[in-house]
A = this chain, B = another copy of it.
Amino acid sequence: MADKAQIQEAIKVQGEVVRKLKSEKASKEQIDEEVSKLLQLKAQIGGDDGKHQFVLKTAKGTRDYNPKQMAIREKVFNTILGCFKRHGAETIDTPVFELKETLTGKYGEDSKLIYDLKDQGGELLSLRYDLTVPFARYLAMNKITNIKRYHIAKVYRRDNPAMTRGRYREFYQCDFDIAGQYDAMIPDAECLKIVYEILSELDIGDFRIKVNDRRILDGMFAVCGVPDDKFRTICSTVDKLDKMSWEEVRKEMVSEKGLSEEAADQIGEYVSLQGGMELAERLLQDQKMSQSKQACAGLTDIKLLFSYLQLFQVTDKVVFDLSLARGLDYYTGIIYEGVLTQTGIAAEAQNASGAEESVSVGSVAGGGRYDGLVGMFDPKGRKVPCVGVSIGIERIFSIMEQKAEASAQRVRTTEVQVMVVSAQKNLLEERLKLLTELWSAGIKAEVIYKKNPKLLSQLQYCEDSGIPLVAILGEQELKDGVVKLRAVATREEADISRADLIAEIKRRTSEA
């Protein structure tokens, strides 16, 4: 533990940092971060009044989900889950942390973003960075050579958060993968079909699915004269083409990474190409490209892939794009990415909310073939070919949330069908009895937890939370053996005998 004088010194320094940023009119995000550090330091020695002061916030780059956000999230999950199940996938779950070494050497330059746990004795652990590496570890550990599985869970990256654009340090991935030795491109085509179905069903605007192949990239680098040991680093520069102009990318290749200008320009010609099956055919005839066996193998597979995509009726959104690279080390064949093109709803939601930069266009799905990853875990190096896709739903949430805010429609956060209320005093016991009957019959019901709540406040609660029916109890109703059933929307009321009540509630709520 640092002593009190040290902390007080640190508080003084940090106070200066905050004042300086404020005087410089730094960004709100930056100031908030430094203020938060200051508050945490202060918390360590207690506040001015000697009382412990809490910093009331979630960890940087994370957020809570309130009930309304959860309702939207559930809707997104159900769409994705429905698609995964329609395609016959099983599901597994793995722990949120893995042995540190399990993650080592799988993510290239991004490894620095892995969260480690503190060494409290015992094993060294890290939070999972994605669901793919734990999946490969699971397959090798259980000697599984065939499985089609989905996994929806949170992953962790110490990345620079940009929360308004849906980039968090804790976020969900929805993964679908097919492992097994099968005939070429059939499982790969199904993964693309899944991206197509999910992005269509979610109804968040137009999209494209870009496709490329690691072997085509490597072949292209070879025929353009990139030295073997520069493939990876040049590849990660190409990967930036969705955020940077070609000029900037070219500059990075030549100035930072020491590539010759001629090689860079040749790459430039290829990575500007986009098309479909016919582009793959043309490149197979291309004098330079056809010199690379690797590239030819990739191009032949792209052709075959497109023939299956035609049968799956998804070619209207799929583009063979030679600029698609994807950063992760473990891909070995086909790679792809689903991107929103920000026409349609995404843009509408932006305009409606008035904030032009509030939703960024971007990748919402990605994946590819990784035939070597499982072998890295197998003691004898036995390979299990795999292909998969990961849907990144935080951006999708951001869009759906803004859509919900822009629309007048109310999002219900419970499924309560009926509220049991009383019109007079001293009827709590009768309310609880009726409530018990309703619960026993499987009806979703609640009461206000007060002995004598006002009728108006009970009815208001129903209006606010969207409960469709009210069961009203009064002295007269009890005497007559009935319940007054009120429809909240129309305010119509009818006396229903206790014996018929459950059937009547079920009838009315199944209509809706």
Contact = CB atoms under 8 A, between A and B. Distances in A.
Interface of A: 36-37, 40, 43-44, 53-60, 62-67, 70, 73, 85-99, 101-102, 115-120, 122-125, 127, 137-138, 140-142, 147-149, 154, 156, 158, 170, 178, 180, 182-183, 186-187, 190, 193, 197, 308, 311-313, 376-377, 379, 413-416, 428-429, 432-433, 436, 439, 442-447, 449-451
21 contacts: A36-B123, A54-B140, A56-B140, A57-B141, A59-B97, A62-B95, A63-B95, A64-B94, A64-B138, A65-B94, A67-B91, A67-B147, A70-B92, A85-B414, A87-B446, A88-B414, A88-B445, A96-B96, A182-B450, A186-B449, A193-B439
A117 B116 contact: yes
A311 B433 contact: yes
Interface-central residue, A54, A183, A187, A193, by most chain B CB under 10 Å = A54
Nearest to A314: B436
Tell me how many chains of this kind the complex includes: 2
Contact of A311 (B73, B141, B429): B429
B91 A70 contact: yes
A451 B193 CA distance: 18
A62 B447 CA distance: 40
A444 B67 contact: no
A101 B40 contact: yes
Contacts of A124: 40
A92 to B, nearest CB: 6
Contacts of A190: 449
A379 B53 contact: yes
A140 to B, nearest CB: 6
A207 to B, nearest CB: 18
